[in-house]
Structure 1
Amino acid sequence: MVLKIIGVSKYDGMSRNGKPYSLYTLELDYHGEKCKIKTFESEAHPGDYAQLSIGTRKTIYGAEFAVNVDKIIAKNEIENNWK
């Protein structure tokens, strides 16, 4: 699934062992509704596209669905290939 990115926000934090990290929240357009997903992908900008996949992950409660950001696709790459 490929969705358009309409907004990006960044959160900088510190891990338990003292390493800094940046977590990005992508706001995506899903059939006219704004949806959010968190990722560590730093190359996302509004207007670009996010390729998503649905999989499962193991938790202490069993398997549950998870949506993953596979890659960020630049807007000019999509627009050049779909015209």
Structure 2
Amino acid sequence: MSSPRASESPAHDGRPGAESVYVGDRVVVLSPGPGSRIVLDVPVELPDERDQLTTRGLPEFTALRTKIGQVVRGTR
């Protein structure tokens, strides 16, 4: 069993959530501003062993990245 990991991952590549889903076990999206609140809190249920090509090609990865991107952009 792996240890829990935490990271802050802004969307440097223009794809909100992609890096967070790839490296994390859980993704939490906060609302903007000083009074931030949690707007999305989802587990990342992908294999612990991840590599760029295989992991990013998984339908589960794409679905979660899309969901997070929609929340970040305010389209969901």
Q: TM-score, normalised by structure 1?
A: 0.24
Structure in which a larger fraction of residues adopt helix: 2
- From the CA coordinates, give the structure whose radius of gyration is larger: 1
Relative to its length, the structure with more strand (as a share) is 1
